[in-house]
Amino acid sequence: MKMIVGLGNIGKEYDQTRHNTGFMVVDALAKKYGVDHFKIHHEAMVGEFFSNGEKVLLVKPTTYMNDSGRAVRPLMDYYDLALTDLIVVYDDMDMPVGKIRLRQKGSAGGHNGIKSLIAHLGTEKFRRLRVGIEHPAHQKVVDYVLGRFAKEQKADFEIGVQNAIAALDDWLAGAEFSQLMNQYN
């Protein structure tokens, strides 16, 4: 079993905001695989599909971004998943809009959702897929990440979502993570 966690904030006011990039990737993956129902389980919305004969969980925590680990850890325990069965998808301000980068471990880099996951999982050694949202030029960071993509950013962001889905599909098909890093980074 594999678990793909998208980070974001619940609520209509956060739909399609930059900080909900993880949710948007999970939603696009759900659409691709015909997942039209998410159930609430351990403070998260959880959808399921099968890929290569293996169950895949699509997870969107309902705890808000800064407490994402509170939802993910109980799911990991409930399903008895190894850290290698987990990948977390989230936004990254330090990359251009739509650029993706995979990592096997690392610090939170100032991302509060990742800080929460590190605290609850007790390690920095879990896989991540970051999607660039760019750093704000003349705007407060909180206003920028909770804002929606500018018209001129939308095409690049959509390319990033499609590349993220391709990388996740390759991961689900059994590709070595180091190979995926070389291919997509």
Active site residues: 19
Tallying the residues shown for the chain, one arrives at: 185
CA–CA distance, 123 with 141 (Å, rounded to integer): 27
CA–CA distance, 6 with 45 (Å, rounded to integer): 10
Q: How far is CA 63 from the centre of its chain?
A: 14
CA–CA distance, 156 with 149 (Å, rounded to integer): 10
CA–CA distance, 22 with 8 (Å, rounded to integer): 6
* CA dihedral for 167, 145, 36, 118, sign (positive or negative): positive
Give the pair of three-digit tokens for residue 60. 């969107």
Give the pair of three-digit tokens for residue 169. 């599909």
Please count the CA atoms within 13 angstroms of the CA of 7 that sit on its side-chain side: 28
Contact between 87 and 4 (Cβ < 8 Å): yes
